[in-house]
Amino acid sequence: MPGKPQRRVLLELLSAALAAVDGRGCTRAALAQRRPELAASAARFCVFAVGKAAAHMALGAHDALGDLIERVLIVTKDGHAGRETACLPHLEICESSHPVPDERSLAAGSRLLASLEAMPAGARPLFLISGGASSLIEVLAHGVTLEQLREFNAWALASGIEIGELNRRRGTLSQIKGGRLAARVRGRGALALFISDVPGDDPALIGSGLMGPAPAGGAGPDDVERRVVASIDVALAAARARAGALGVRAAAARFGGDAERLAVRFAHELQLSPQPLCLWGGESVVRLAADPGRGGRNQHLALAAARLIAGYDELYLLAAGTDGTDGPTEDAGGLVDGQTCARAASAGYDVEEALRRCDTGSVLEATGDLLHTGPTGTNVGDLVLGLKLSETDARAWLNAAQPTLTPRPHAATGHR
For residue 411, what pLDDT is reported?
Answer: 66
- Angle at which helices 259-272 and 297-308 cross, to 10°: 40
Q: Which residues contact 346 (CB under 8 A, 6 or more apart)?
A: none
Rounded average pLDDT over 21-32 = 98
For residue 405, what pLDDT is reported?
Answer: 46
CATH architecture of 22-230: 3-Layer(aba) Sandwich (3.40)
DSSP letter string, 12-32:
HHHHHHHHHT-HHHHHHHHHH
Could you tell me which of 403, 396, 404 has the C-alpha nearest to residue 8? 396
pLDDT at 284 over 80: yes
* Domain spanning 233-398: CATH 3.40.1480.10: yes
Q: Tens digits of per-residue pLDDT, 56-70?
A: 999 999 999 999 999
Q: Tens digits of per-residue pLDDT, 193-216?
A: 999 999 899 999 999 999 999 876
CB-CB contact of 379 with 49 (8 Å)? no
For residue 187, what pLDDT is reported?
Answer: 78
pLDDT at 409 over 50: no
- All CATH 3.40.50.10180 domain ranges in the chain, comma separated: 22-230
Alpha-helical segments (H) within 177-278: 232-245, 259-272
For residue 218, what pLDDT is reported?
Answer: 55
For residue 281, what pLDDT is reported?
Answer: 98
Alpha-helical segments (H) within 52-102: 54-65
- All CATH 3.40.1480.10 domain ranges in the chain, comma separated: 233-398
- CA 150 to CA 144: how far, in whole Å? 11
pLDDT at 133 over 60: yes
Alpha-helical segments (H) within 41-91: 54-65
Provide the 8-state DSSP code for 218.
S
pLDDT tier at 403 (50, 70, 90 boundaries)?
very low
